[in-house]
Chain A
Amino acid sequence: MSATVSSTYRNVGKGLPRRDGEEKVRGLAAYADDIPVPDGWHGWVVRSPVSRGRLKKLNFDPAFDWSRVCVVTPEDIPGENVVDMVGRDMPFIAHDWIQFKGEPIALVAAPTRALAREAASHITPEIEEQPAILTLREVVDQFQRDPKSLHEMVAQTISKGSVEQGFAEADVVVEGEYWSGHQEQLYIEPQGMVAFPEPDGGIFIQGSLQCPYYVAPELIVTLNLPLEKIRVKQTAVGGGFGGKEDFPTLIAGYCALLAMKCGKPVKIIFDRNQDILYTTKRHPSWVRHRTGLKRDGTITAMKVDFLLDGGAYTTLSPVVLYRGILHSTLGYKCPHVYVDGHVYRTNTFPNGAFRGFGAPQAIWALESHMDRCAHKLSMAPEAFRLHNALRLGDTTATGQTIAEAMGTPTVLENTLAHSQFVEKQKRCSRGDPKADCWYGIGLSFFAHGAGFTGDGESRLKAKAALDLEILHDGEPGINIRISSTEMGQGTFTIMPQIAADGLAIPLDRVCCPHPDTKYVPDSGPTVASRTTMIVGSTVFDAARKLKTQLEAYASETFFGGAPTELNNGLFKNTYTSVSLPFERVAKQLIAEKGPQRVYHQFQLPASLKWDQKTFKGDSYPSYSWGCNVAEVEVNPLTLEIKVLRITSTWDIGRVINPVLAKGQVEGGLTQALGYAVMEKMGIKNGVFDANRMQTYVVPTSMDVPEMDIHFVEYPYTHTALGAKGVGEVSMDGLAPSVANAVEAATGVRLTEIPITPEKLWEKLRETASSAI
């Protein structure tokens, strides 16, 4: 039933230990706050105390000695006062309008953090306050009454067939609305950055970031420096999860602006309170489904309204919306689809990237709704899904044909078998008043688009370089030069595995140093579950290229032109039994011709077609697939919800390192568990109400249930390596399986995450009173 790839590789496919494991368990890994910053100053951000208004002026307390500190206001910005991201609506420092509470209004640096902070408290703004819109509830209310009154940041539709026709053909129409709140990435290392002024007028930025080639080019217009004078190097990163995708440009900009003015290195390390209050979150969402169904379970129409709360500025919201709407019906066959997606502004901290990037919101709604549809038809949830699941040859909402074998519906069948879902369904309590403990089991089935949306990979053209040179141990080897970062997921381990196998040389001859824009080409950002799939494949092809060059050199130099092959670290020619080790040949080549660099550039297949305007065509190069079965227990008295067990199966293409892949799934499921039942963050007086670790509660070792994790491998056929993504798919689909299990346990459906005992109490009470 499951496809397994037979591996001819020595390293790929093996659960090799992490390359950075030793330095991490010895406490030697240097994170942003650990690197030496001689003579460095500390930066601080002065923030708006109101959510919206016109900024009239800043008052500087004349009693404070300003000569001891450096202050940056918009007038000090060498270039444009704009954060040059997808949208260009966010100023680096507010100069006219305030759009959210906490918006930067000035920057301060001083020799000590305490002094910088003190100076900041002596700057007070005069703001003419204006009414603000603060929550998604307000947005949805207005959307239903008068959408034109809202500030729309971006909108996009997907249209296939005719939903009117689909509804006309339906026997039953099922509707549902689903809500999700903010989620904080809560990487354990807070955001941190240091900017060092360079003697040539440039700037050298080091810190905790996912995407060196986001930070550097995005600062060009603000710093008024050419790209080559903005050098960005990643330090060790204590977790990112998307939180260090777009945000680091801001904190790097603050440091750089201050450093360029005061001439000293400037460091900003957020404390946890600042980090939660003043960094991006997952977009809150409201999704309304209307689905047409035949009595036999066939879906005839899917109409979806998909709303995101963008926060105050655009950041990456368009891209999050695109991924969100593309996943809002994904996984199922349906001839008539209409999805209407919008991002609206609220006057709160801008929302941004978070593992899953719109897909968890979409799948939360979709997979809750699919259960509701099955229930309406009195069909078993697994039977309904198996009846409608996309299969080879079917088309998605954008008209993309599933053209290669994928884990649908295998992941579903496999998980049903491992979890004994069908048998356990019979045990579900469904709110039985006589039961001491309510048991429930629930299912979710989903896909995650692997790589950038649409033809993004064609536009980006990921580049990788391999440097054949003398390594730190004095012996020849390969330094992998990519801008992909290690933030815990294992880039620095899998890339050497891939390069060593591509070259057929020993693993210890390959290194993957921290990316530094001075040395690495742009492989794209470390996001979108694309690193192994796209950059890994590019590294592999670069390694094959270098192997051919080395073989040609060895043949010419050592074997009199006879055909020579490099295998297992040895050069051999076909005619003699003589063999030469890789090190010998490489050393001579470097001595003779100097270090060698090969480049490779990723290319999507020419057959991939995507229309960004109409959202028709191949919306992703390929798809990873997942299925979760969650089992829960609910205490009928306290309504405490305990997730007992998660059984899951994943198709992430070829598994490069099974230990790391499983670690990604375990971690993703745990973060998804928090999203489903624990991580609650509201807006109070314009800011996040859970603003500390004490109030923003994430899963501990005691909250995590037993996890039974399986992989089935359906390789991506366009690359030799065949990997798809694992980083995000594991975050995508747990919440609906828990909601479905809670319904099986209690008899009521909850439509807002996180699912809490309080919400369950309200729902049960509401249901009981409506029954009377």
Chain B
Amino acid sequence: MKTVIRTWIVNGKKYTVEFPPMRRLLDVIRETLGLKGTKEGCGEGECGACSILLNHEPVTSCLIAAGQVPDGAEILTIEGLELTHEGQELQRMYVAKGAAQCGFCIPGMLVASYAHVTGDHPDNSDAALREAHAGNICRCTGYAKIIEAVSAAAERLSHEDEDDDT
């Protein structure tokens, strides 16, 4: 079978991987790279469990043919989140506020949270936070504690920004 070879920066480290070009990015992440934290919930971009950051943009990795991802692309998965300060803060708040129940949507949900808090001038109002997570389905929590956790993390991170400015 025809394969392609790509070199990507995954969670800050360089990886060279070989795969059939139409293989889903999700499968390359889970099977080839062995990063099992990214989950498949629907396979059609509806549930958001497979969300990752591709060149700093949140995408559903089940909808991307891995061959489309060029050399040098930067990929951040749930496993890489804790290497960042914002990621750690979000993880801490998710645990503290009881945002995870079964946990299966959480890797994708946290990626959405991370994309939001690291975006330009994030609006941290309840409505904006709900919108930022609307592409990620959670069947356990009713979202209340997820929004609460992101709000608390965003609050703490914004205070740090103020400290940096002074």
Q: Which A positions have Cβ atoms within 8 angstroms of B?
A: 15, 17-18, 20-31, 33-34, 185-190, 236-241, 271-273, 487-490, 659-660, 662-663, 666-671, 692-694, 698-702, 704, 707
A699–B44 Cα distance when bound, in Å, is 17
When the two chains form their complex, are residues A666 and B142 in contact, meaning their CB atoms are under 8 A apart?
yes
When the two chains form their complex, are residues B145 and A666 in contact, meaning their CB atoms are under 8 A apart?
yes
When the two chains form their complex, are residues B137 and A17 in contact, meaning their CB atoms are under 8 A apart?
no
Contact with A along B87-104 (1 / 0, CB 8 A): 000110011111011111
When the two chains form their complex, are residues A187 and B143 in contact, meaning their CB atoms are under 8 A apart?
no
14 additional A-B pairs beyond A21-B100, A188-B139, beta carbons within 8 Å, are A17-B95, A26-B91, A27-B35, A29-B103, A187-B104, A189-B41, A237-B102, A272-B44, A662-B98, A667-B142, A669-B142, A693-B44, A699-B142, A704-B142
The segment from B64-72, B126-134, B154-162 found at the interface with A is: B126-134
B75 within 8 A of A: no
A701–B105 Cα distance when bound, in Å, is 13
Residue of B nearest to A657 (CB): B98
Q: Which of B36, B77, B130, B147 has the most CB of A within 10 A?
A: B36
When the two chains form their complex, are residues A188 and B141 in contact, meaning their CB atoms are under 8 A apart?
no
When the two chains form their complex, are residues B36 and A488 in contact, meaning their CB atoms are under 8 A apart?
no
**Interfacial chain B residues near A22, Cβ < 8 Å:** 91, 95
A707–B143 Cα distance when bound, in Å, is 11
Contact with A along B72-86 (1 / 0, CB 8 A): 000001110110000
Question: Which parts of B36-51 form the interface with A (CB within 8 Å)?
Answer: 36-44, 46-47, 49
- How close is A188's CB to chain B, nearest CB, in angstroms? 4
When the two chains form their complex, are residues B137 and A693 in contact, meaning their CB atoms are under 8 A apart?
yes
Known contacts A188-B49, A667-B141; is-contact A26 B78 (Cβ 8 Å): yes
**Interfacial chain B residues near A21, Cβ < 8 Å:** 94-95, 98, 100
A-B complex: 9 closest residue pairs judged by Cβ atoms:
A27-B37, A238-B104, A488-B102, A24-B103, A27-B78, A666-B142, A488-B101, A670-B142, A693-B46
B58 within 8 A of A: no
A133–B130 Cα distance when bound, in Å, is 43
- How close is B46's CB to chain A, nearest CB, in angstroms? 4
Query: What are 11 of the A-B contact pairs (CB < 8 Å)?
Result: A18-B95, A29-B103, A188-B139, A237-B102, A272-B44, A273-B43, A659-B98, A666-B143, A693-B41, A701-B129, A702-B131
- How close is A485's CB to chain B, nearest CB, in angstroms? 11
Contact of A25 among B42, B91, B134 (CB under 8 A): B91
A668–B35 Cα distance when bound, in Å, is 32
When the two chains form their complex, are residues A188 and B98 in contact, meaning their CB atoms are under 8 A apart?
no
Residue of B nearest to A27 (CB): B37
A659–B141 Cα distance when bound, in Å, is 11
- How close is B135's CB to chain A, nearest CB, in angstroms? 8
Contact with A along B103-136 (1 / 0, CB 8 A): 1111100100000000000000000011101111
Q: Which B positions have Cβ atoms within 8 angstroms of A?
A: 35-44, 46-47, 49, 77-79, 81-82, 90-91, 94-98, 100-107, 110, 129-131, 133-147
**Interfacial chain B residues near A25, Cβ < 8 Å:** 90-91, 94-95, 100, 103, 106, 110
**Interfacial chain B residues near A20, Cβ < 8 Å:** 100, 103
Known contacts A25-B94, A26-B78; is-contact A488 B47 (Cβ 8 Å): no
A693–B137 Cα distance when bound, in Å, is 10
Interface of A is mostly: loop
**Interfacial chain A residues near B146, Cβ < 8 Å:** 701
- How close is A205's CB to chain B, nearest CB, in angstroms? 20
When the two chains form their complex, are residues B91 and A693 in contact, meaning their CB atoms are under 8 A apart?
no
- How close is A667's CB to chain B, nearest CB, in angstroms? 5
When the two chains form their complex, are residues A663 and B43 in contact, meaning their CB atoms are under 8 A apart?
no
A236–B104 Cα distance when bound, in Å, is 9
When the two chains form their complex, are residues B78 and A239 in contact, meaning their CB atoms are under 8 A apart?
no
**Interfacial chain A residues near B79, Cβ < 8 Å:** 26-27
**Interfacial chain A residues near B136, Cβ < 8 Å:** 700-701
- How close is A28's CB to chain B, nearest CB, in angstroms? 7
**Interfacial chain A residues near B42, Cβ < 8 Å:** 272, 692-693
When the two chains form their complex, are residues A707 and B137 in contact, meaning their CB atoms are under 8 A apart?
no
When the two chains form their complex, are residues B43 and A272 in contact, meaning their CB atoms are under 8 A apart?
yes
Residue of A nearest to B46 (CB): A693
**Interfacial chain A residues near B142, Cβ < 8 Å:** 663, 666-670, 699, 704, 707
A487–B104 Cα distance when bound, in Å, is 10
Contact of B41 among A18, A272, A702 (CB under 8 A): A272
Contact of A667 among B44, B97, B135, B139 (CB under 8 A): B139
Contact of B100 among A24, A692, A701 (CB under 8 A): A24
A487–B103 Cα distance when bound, in Å, is 9
**Interfacial chain B residues near A271, Cβ < 8 Å:** 40, 43
- How close is B20's CB to chain A, nearest CB, in angstroms? 11
A91–B124 Cα distance when bound, in Å, is 54
When the two chains form their complex, are residues B94 and A188 in contact, meaning their CB atoms are under 8 A apart?
no
Known contacts A18-B98, A660-B98, A693-B137; is-contact A701 B130 (Cβ 8 Å): yes
- How close is A307's CB to chain B, nearest CB, in angstroms? 28
**Interfacial chain B residues near A699, Cβ < 8 Å:** 142
A195–B136 Cα distance when bound, in Å, is 31
**Interfacial chain A residues near B49, Cβ < 8 Å:** 188
When the two chains form their complex, are residues B43 and A31 in contact, meaning their CB atoms are under 8 A apart?
no
When the two chains form their complex, are residues B133 and A489 in contact, meaning their CB atoms are under 8 A apart?
no
Q: Which of B38, B97, B100 has the most CB of A within 10 A?
A: B100
- How close is A529's CB to chain B, nearest CB, in angstroms? 16
- How close is A579's CB to chain B, nearest CB, in angstroms? 33
When the two chains form their complex, are residues B47 and A693 in contact, meaning their CB atoms are under 8 A apart?
yes
A662–B141 Cα distance when bound, in Å, is 9
When the two chains form their complex, are residues B101 and A667 in contact, meaning their CB atoms are under 8 A apart?
yes
**Interfacial chain B residues near A671, Cβ < 8 Å:** 139
Contact of A241 among B130, B139, B144 (CB under 8 A): B139
A662–B99 Cα distance when bound, in Å, is 11
When the two chains form their complex, are residues A698 and B145 in contact, meaning their CB atoms are under 8 A apart?
no
**Interfacial chain A residues near B102, Cβ < 8 Å:** 187-189, 237-240, 487-488
